[in-house]
Amino acid sequence: MALFSRKKTPAPARPRNPFVETPEQEAARREREAAEAAAAEASRVVYEPRKGGRPTVENPRTKRVSLSLSDQEHETLVAAAEGQRVSVWAREVLLDRLDTSEVSHIPGEVARLRADLGRVGSNLNQLVRAVNSGQTVSSAELLEAVEATREELARVRGELP
């Protein structure tokens, strides 16, 4: 009697290992992870890095001009600068004098008169704007501004060459 038969029987099916994916499951997982990564990348806000160091100047001033002044001359320039740095004030004055525009050949007094006229005109403009916006402005105040503008204009016209 033979206890062991020589005939082979098929092995029983192995139970599925929950920790091992099938190729279909692995492909689906990879597609899902790729879609999630693309969505995360699209929603990420990217900021431009800040530039480090000192800011760059468009027209840097690299040339120097120096003056030798007496104490009295320096005090005169400091007083004329009226609180500005003397170098800034001197550069503005020199460049204004060298300017080839129409205003540069007008004498200094007329330029000051034009500035005064501009201030009076500005005051008049503010009054008219207030009236147009519905605010009440006294007629005397408005008449005073118009008269001041008229007088200043006559003075400027009289002094122009």
* Residue-number span of the structural domain to which 77 is assigned: 68-104
Residue 107 has a pLDDT of 67
Does some domain include residue 61? no
**Continuous segment of H or E residues that includes residue 63:** none
Digitized pLDDT (tens) for each residue of the chain, 161 residues in all? 556 666 677 777 777 777 777 888 888 989 999 999 988 888 887 777 777 777 777 888 888 888 888 999 889 988 988 888 988 888 888 888 776 555 445 567 777 777 777 887 787 788 778 878 887 767 787 778 778 778 877 777 776 65
Residue 88 has a pLDDT of 87
Same domain, 72 and 98: yes
Instruction: Answer with the one of 56, 80, 104 that is the final residue of a domain.
Output: 104
* Angle, helix 86-98 to helix 71-81, in steps of 10 degrees: 80
Does some domain include residue 57? no
Does some domain include residue 49? no
Residue 119 has a pLDDT of 81
Residue 35 has a pLDDT of 93
Helix and strand numbers (H, E) in the chain are: 5, 0
Residue 100 has a pLDDT of 54
Residue 106 has a pLDDT of 57
Residue 9 has a pLDDT of 73
Does some domain include residue 32? no
What is the signed CA dihedral for 126, 130, 132, 135, rounded to 10 degrees?
-170
Residue 11 has a pLDDT of 74
Residue 31 has a pLDDT of 94
Number of domains in the chain: 2
Does some domain include residue 84? yes
**Measured distance CA(148)–CA(142) in Å, rounded:** 10
Instruction: Answer with the one of 82, 104, 126 that is the final residue of a domain.
Output: 104
Same domain, 115 and 161: yes
Copy the structure tokens of residue 116: 């005064």
